Amino acid sequence: MADMRKEREEREERAWEIARSFGEDVVPLFTVPGCADSEYVSAVARTKRLLERWSMDNVFRARLYEHPQEACDAYGIDIDPQNVRILWHEQEARQRKQDRANGLPTPQDSRSVRRYRSFIAEKLAFRDWMRDVKAGVSGRFGLWRLQQMHRCTLELGPAKSAGLVHATVAFELQKGCSVGCWFCGVGAEKLSAHFAYSPEHAALWRDTLDVCRDVIGDSVFNGFCYWASDPLDNPDYIHFITDFRRALGRYPQTTTAIPLRNEAKTREILDMVRDCAGEIQRFSILTLKMLDDVHSRFTPEELINVELLPLNRESGVPKANAGHARVKSPRGHAKTSDEQPQTIACMSGFLFNMVDRSVRMVTPCHASDRWPNGYRVLAQGHFDNAEQLRKLLIRLIDGAGHVVTHDTTVALNPCLVATTVTREGYDIASIWVKRTLVNFPAFAALDRLLRDGVHTAADVATRIEDETGTPLVDTFNILNELLRLGALDTEPAEAEPVVQRVGAVKAMDSA
pLDDT tens, position by position, 4-37: 678 788 889 999 999 999 999 999 999 998 899 9
Name the strand (E) or helix (H) holding 182. Answer: none
Report the DSSP beta bridge partners of residue 307. 282
- DSSP labels for 42-65? HHHHHHHHHHHHHHH-HHHHHHHH
Give the C-alpha separation, 108 to 255, whole Å.
36
The model's pLDDT over 300-319, given as tens digits with 9 standing for 90+, comes to 999 999 999 999 999 999 99
Question: What is the b/e burial string over 217-243, where b = at least 16 CB atoms within 10 angstroms of the residue's CB?
Answer: bbbbbbbbbbbbbbbbbbebbbbbbeb
136: confidence class by pLDDT, cuts 50, 70, 90: low
Span 165-177, pLDDT tens digits = 999 999 999 999 9
Report the amino acid identity of residue 154: L
The answer, yes or no, to whether residue 366 has pLDDT greater than 80, is yes
**In which band, very low, low, confident or very high, does the pLDDT at 381 lie, cut at 50, 70 and 90?**
very high
- pLDDT tens across 85-128, in order? 999 999 999 999 999 999 999 999 999 999 999 999 999 999 99
Beta-carbon neighbour count of residue 246 at 10 Å? 10
What is the percent of the chain with per-residue pLDDT over 70, rounded to a whole number? 95
Q: What is the pLDDT of residues 168-217, one digit of tens each?
A: 999 999 999 999 999 999 999 999 999 999 999 999 999 999 999 999 98
What is the mean predicted confidence (pLDDT) over 339-361?
94
503 and 382 Cβ atoms separated by less than 8 Å: yes
Q: Output phi, psi for 97, to 5 deg.
A: -65, -40
- Collapsing DSSP states into helix, strand and coil, what is residue 313? helix
pLDDT value for 329: 78
Beta-bridge partners for 194: 174
Which residues make Cβ contacts (< 8 Å) with residue 76, sequence separation at least 6?
Answer: 295
Domain boundaries, the chain: 2-125, 136-229+338-401, 418-484
The residues, ordered by sequence, that sit 6+ positions from 420 with a Cβ below 8 Å of its Cβ are 426, 427, 429
Given this model, what pLDDT does residue 8 score? Answer: 80
